[in-house]
Amino acid sequence: MLQSTATMHGVTTRWSRHAWAAIFILPAALIYGAFIFYPLVATVVWGFLEWNGTSAVSFAGFGNFRTLFTLYPFNTQLFSAVLHNIVFFLLSIIVQLLFGLILAVLLRARAKSRVFLQAIYTLPFMMSPIIVGYLWNLILNPIFGPVYEALHATGLGNLYAPWLGQSSTALVTLSLISSWQSIGLPMLLFYAALSTIPSEIYEAAKMDGCTGLQTFRWIILPLVAPTAAVLTLLTFVASFNLFDLPYAVGGVNGAPNGALDVAGLLFYRLAFTGTGNGLGVGSAMATMIGLILLAFTTALLWYRRLAERWV
């Protein structure tokens, strides 16, 4: 009898714990479902429907995807936008990994001013991309921008060019602006990775006669490689979610001449400024971008696990 009572009490206690856990998790689950899960599922479903403005009229199957890939001008705009996203990612990841690691190494050596430098470098990351875009539009303005004025005041005016206004330099300039804003995150992550390396390793390398460059190549780089993989994944996702910054710099059409046109801007034009079946084609494009992100994430995680097995 006593054992049965104790068992029932234990079951009641466990149920009570699960109930309280469910009560505390429920608000977060509702918010996630309303703002993340439902829009995600709805977008996939809408991509398979034929729309007349904002009203679904019939089931289209893969018709919206065929329109996106085969019908002009959707196919050319899609290829160009995705290519811009890929180029933006490659430029951003090179700059952020390189300078993020360099800044982290320098930050580790500056013990006295470390907190101040961390705050300075991470401050742009806390700003809205819309604000950053408008700010750099003013800074690089070819008429009254401070960069233009500074170069002319120092006799280097011939070096200036309207970098955001030329098709050949606009995307590179945008990636540099984005890297300037985001450099605080890789710096902090690399600094955290460097802080986990025991000092005995550096001392052993020094006793073995390793130079600073050799220590960086054979000790620091291999040990921060997992952090670099995480940053690569985050940068890739951010590059294909890009919308605010090119919208602030080049408008909804990705000016100049579509040089800043990315997948986010194309989706916006298709879904919200187009007519007829724009919402269906736009949803199909959003689904395709989601599949690209899923494939890249899966491939990177698989490669990382495979690399860990061989280490």
Mean pLDDT of the chain: 87
> For 137-159, what is each residue's pLDDT tens digit?
999 988 888 988 888 888 887 88
Tell me the pLDDT band of 309, cut-offs 50, 70 and 90.
low
Encode the chain in three state secondary structure.
CHHHHHHHHHHHHHHHHHHHHHHHHHHHHHHHHHHHHHHHHHHHHHCCEEEECCEEEEECCCHHHHHHHHCCCHHHHHHHHHHHHHHHHHHHHHHHHHHHHHHHHHHHHCCCCHHHHHHHHHCHHHCCHHHHHHHHHHHCCCCCCHHHHHHHHCCCHHHCCCCCCCCCCHHHHHHHHHHHHHCHHHHHHHHHHHHCCCHHHHHHHHHCCCCHHHHHHHHHHHHHHHHHHHHHHHHHHHHHCCCHHHHHHHCCCCCCCCCCCCHHHHHHHHHHHCCCCHHHHHHHHHHHHHHHHHHHHHHHHHHHHHHHHHC
The residues near 311 (Cβ < 8 Å, ≥ 6 apart) are none
pLDDT at 2 over 50: no
Residue 142 Cα to chain centre, angstroms: 29
pTM comes to: 0.87
> For 80-92, what is each residue's pLDDT tens digit?
999 999 999 999 9
* pLDDT for the residue numbered 4: 53
More confident residue, 215 or 91: 91
- pLDDT-wise least confident of 76-80, 106-110, 169-173, 221-225: 106-110
pLDDT at 106 over 90: no
> For 158-208, what is each residue's pLDDT tens digit?
888 889 999 999 999 999 999 999 999 999 999 999 988 888 888 888 888
Tell me the pLDDT band of 14, cut-offs 50, 70 and 90.
low
- Given a contact cutoff of 8 angstroms between Cβ atoms, the answer to whether 65 and 272 are in contact is no
Tell me the pLDDT band of 218, cut-offs 50, 70 and 90.
confident
* pLDDT for the residue numbered 199: 82
**Looking at beta carbons, which pairs linking 124-130 to residues 24 or more positions away fall under 8 Å?**
124/180, 124/181, 124/182, 124/183, 124/184, 125/181, 125/182, 125/183, 125/184, 125/185, 127/181, 128/244, 129/178, 129/181, 129/244, 129/245, 129/248, 130/244, 130/245, 130/247, 130/248
